[in-house]
Structure 1
Amino acid sequence: MSVLAFACILTSFNSNALAHEHVAFDANVSSWASIEVQRALDMGLVPIIDLPTDYQAPITRSQFRCIAMNYIAVQENCGADIFDKLVGTYVAEKNLDGTIKSAFSDGSQNDSLAYYLGLVQGRGDGTFDPNSAISRQEAAVMLIRAYDVCGGTMPQDPMTTDYIDGEEIADWALDSISMLASWNVMNGMENGAFMPKEQYSIEQCIVTFLRLYENAPISRKNGNIAPMFTYEQCRDYLNTITVNVEECIAGDSIITEEVDGPIASFIRLDVTGVMLGTASMYFLYKEGGIKPVDLGICSYPTPQNTIYSSLRTENLHFSENGQIFYCNAILPQDAILNTIDGDEILVHQSGTYQISIDVGTNRLIKLESADLSSIPHI
């Protein structure tokens, strides 16, 4: 098994993997898009496990929705998976039994969550039509909707564009296309045409969401995003999925570590029980938002932000200004991955690791063994 394939396996277990490493991927990408696609991957804008490996292929409505939700989660300083849960808790309409009310007769629950955010609309007959391809003009409108969800506003008189096929652009898409062109997010072809009805590709979707994040006036990059979910709401959500230690039974989640800092709080959750023993770690940001914390150590790849709770953490603290989080992680035994080919790959050796993380960017700064030897990691 190649290192690239192994890196892809590890990444697939954690869709919210930190951007502390160059994220490896094995996808079919056009040369013009490769640099921006890689940058979007490093930022966490791309839900790798939810997309096919051919990024030149036409994108479906459901796939577009998935990337758009990732974009909004990044803007809102949230991990993608927990952002969906927050939307389900605080935004979505509920049935009498508390379950999320389906917005469409087809599609998934995540399609419904996007509807309640105002990101997507149906076809008018109660369907979402999740597997249909998206045209360029439809993509422009959905890009602007995602921007609106994050607090962006359209100017009263957006910039006009003069495409040679402008008469083919639908009236409902004109303002969105003009605005995106003015930000250099989505432009026309070299011959001066926009081609509004041409199918949109996965790589085009990824690149334009990256440009929307980097070029639009309202963005977390510019520090002017108003949080959708406050610190208190994020904390209340964690409280709903945990129990007191005195009341826990096998399978319950309990808070086992909590450290408060000026910028964020660090919280570790452990699931009780020998067979279910996993841990999840989060930064809860004082300005709003919540992200999973990746210490860079995995005792074994496990689903979605979890590690075996046998990985102990100690000496947890923030720097005085709160910008750096420090801890020691103790791995009691070697972490070995058994591949489908029957190979064994040593992921991390047992021992104590010294770790520091940039709290604002959620990037791993240092991962070293206790003897100060730098430990390579994937």
Structure 2
Amino acid sequence: MRMIGTKGRRGLAATLATLCALVFATAASAADCTGRDLIAELPAGQRAQLDEAVAGTPYPQGIFWRATKGEARIEIAGTYHFPDPRHEATVARMAPLITQAGALLVEAGPDEEKALTDHLSRDPALMVDPTGPTLPQRLGDKDWQAVAQAIEQRGVPAILASRMRPWYVAMLLGLSPCMLGQAQDLADRQGLDHRLVDHARGEGVPVLALEPWDTLFTIFRDLTPEEENDMIRAALPAARLADDYAATSLEAYFRGDIWQLWEFGRLDARENSGLPSEAVDRQMQLAEDRLMTRRNRSWIGPLTRAAEAAAAEGKPVVAAFGALHLPGETGVLRLLEAEGWTITEGG
């Protein structure tokens, strides 16, 4: 079976970890890291499979949308959390809308980010398991040696990683050493979400969070030990290709091909992870449910309440969150539509 974009096998978890750049705000930069757009390199037959998988998905393309219901209006921007010079155009497009808005809604605002930092400083167990078996004990020597080598390339000592929560290790393996190396120099290189927040605060527009500060830590809380171990094992084959995954994500985002990126992850994993298709689909469904669907449903209430409150003052609200939350039957746009909102292209 022909490989997609490279020789060797790639893992599902690393694909999902890179996709998290569209879902979670992550302190790293892809702007100066190089990689190949794996979607652009697909042979015709696999590209046809990808197009077929995307077809029929509600709102698969585009990052700027408007939701209206009566006098209430939500201006929506799907974001990519890594810095990139191309965000300049988006900031210029959204800034006037934020200036006139009653509020800006984001996944996590300044208060939530401060709470996260404070809790991590007081409770390392959020990221580290101080009492359970270590990852070498859980994974066995062969897998652990591979993890240790890859994780040290990302600037994390193996002895520290041996006690980290498995989901966090798996996500680190999906990020390139280049991107993590740039994470220490972000003073002037913020992702899109932070730049929009800065504009809102500068204009005196309230910034509201769509979810609590600890959401990331609760998503994977009830995974079984074996599911946690599988996340790490599946990430290993792709660890050396993380630059390519980052480049693929960025190019898809700026083309507006949001759901195409998700389905590429599925196609790539079927071709290259060594897992049966049914196992890939099961893990993709688990990831979609944990990373997107549950959170999407919880956001509809805050979005609606904020929009209605702003409408009473004759104002819209602006919402900016990871672009992968937009498409699909359980995406934010379809969920708003089910609540009686009219969805049109926005911005």
Bin the TM-score by the shorter chain: under 0.3
Tell which has more relative contact order, 1 or 2 (C-alpha 8 A, sep 6+): 2
Looking at secondary structure, tell me which structure has more strand per residue. Answer: 1
Give the TM-score normalised by the residue count of structure 2. 0.25
Give the TM-score normalised by the residue count of structure 1. 0.24
Larger radius of gyration: 1
